C-alpha cells in the first residue's frame, strides 16, 4: 500500500480515506471467510477419513481375532469329539473283553476281577488262560 498524505484537519478527506480503506476490507472479508471455511472443511474431512480408517482397521483386527477364536473353538471341539469316540471305543472294548470272560449276569464280568487266579471261574476253565488272553490284547 502506498502512503498518502492526508490533511488531518480536513474532515472531508479524513472521512473519505477511512471509507476507502474500509471498502477494501469489506471486499476481502468474504473471500477470507470463504478460504477459512474451506480450510476448516478440509481439516474436518481429513480427520473424518483418518477416524474411518482407524475404525476399519480395528474392525479388521476384531474380525481376525474372532476368526482365530472360532478356529480354536472348532479345533477344541474336534479334539473333544475325537476323545469321546476314543472313550466309546475303549468302553466297547472293555464290554467285549468282559463278555468273553463269561459274565455272571450282573454286568461286571463275574469272578473277583483277578482273571480266575484260583484255578476256576464261572466258565469252569483255568484262570491262567483267561488272564493271559486279556493281557495280550492290551
pLDDT tens track for 40-79: 999 999 999 999 999 999 999 999 999 999 999 999 999 9
Q: Model confidence at 27, in pLDDT bands (50, 70, 90)?
A: confident
What is the average pLDDT value for the chain, to the nearest integer?
Answer: 76
| 51 in any annotated domain | yes
| 80 in any annotated domain | yes
| 7 in any annotated domain | no
Are 97 and 137 in contact, with CB atoms under 8 Å apart?
Answer: yes
What torsion, rounded to 10 degrees, do the Cα atoms 74, 79, 83, 89 define? Answer: 90
| 31 in any annotated domain | yes
Which is more confidently placed, 68 or 1? Answer: 68
pLDDT tens track for 72-81: 999 999 999 9
The boundaries of the domain holding residue 95 are 12-100
| 128 in any annotated domain | no
Are 17 and 4 in contact, with CB atoms under 8 Å apart?
Answer: yes
| 117 in any annotated domain | no
Say what the pLDDT of residue 38 is: 96
Say what the pLDDT of residue 56 is: 97
Residue 115's closest CA among 90, 86, 137?
137
Q: Model confidence at 101, in pLDDT bands (50, 70, 90)?
A: confident
| 125 in any annotated domain | no
Q: Cα dist. 81→62, 75, 84, 85 in Å?
A: 28, 10, 5, 6
Q: What are the cell numbers at 12?
A: 472531508
The domain tally of the chain equals 1
Say what the pLDDT of residue 137 is: 47
| 111 in any annotated domain | no
Residue the block writes with cell 471467510? 33
Q: Cα dist. 23→3, 19, 29, 132 in Å?
A: 17, 6, 10, 117
Residue 30 has pLDDT above 70, yes or no: yes
Amino acid at each position: 500500500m502506498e502512503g498518502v498524505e492526508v490533511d488531518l484537519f480536513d474532515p472531508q478527506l479524513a472521512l473519505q480515506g477511512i471509507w476507502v480503506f474500509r471498502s477494501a476490507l469489506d471486499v476481502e472479508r468474504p473471500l477470507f471467510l470463504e478460504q477459512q471455511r474451506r480450510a476448516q472443511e478440509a481439516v474436518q474431512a481429513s480427520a473424518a477419513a483418518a477416524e474411518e480408517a482407524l475404525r476399519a482397521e480395528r474392525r479388521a483386527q476384531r474380525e481376525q481375532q474372532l476368526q482365530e477364536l472360532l478356529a480354536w473353538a472348532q479345533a477344541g471341539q474336534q479334539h473333544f469329539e475325537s476323545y469321546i469316540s476314543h472313550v466309546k471305543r475303549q468302553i466297547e472294548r472293555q464290554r467285549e473283553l468282559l463278555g468273553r470272560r463269561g459274565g455272571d449276569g450282573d454286568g461286571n464280568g463275574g469272578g473277583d476281577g483277578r482273571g480266575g487266579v484260583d484255578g476256576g471261574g464261572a466258565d469252569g476253565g483255568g484262570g491262567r488262560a483267561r488272564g493271559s488272553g486279556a493281557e495280550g490284547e492290551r
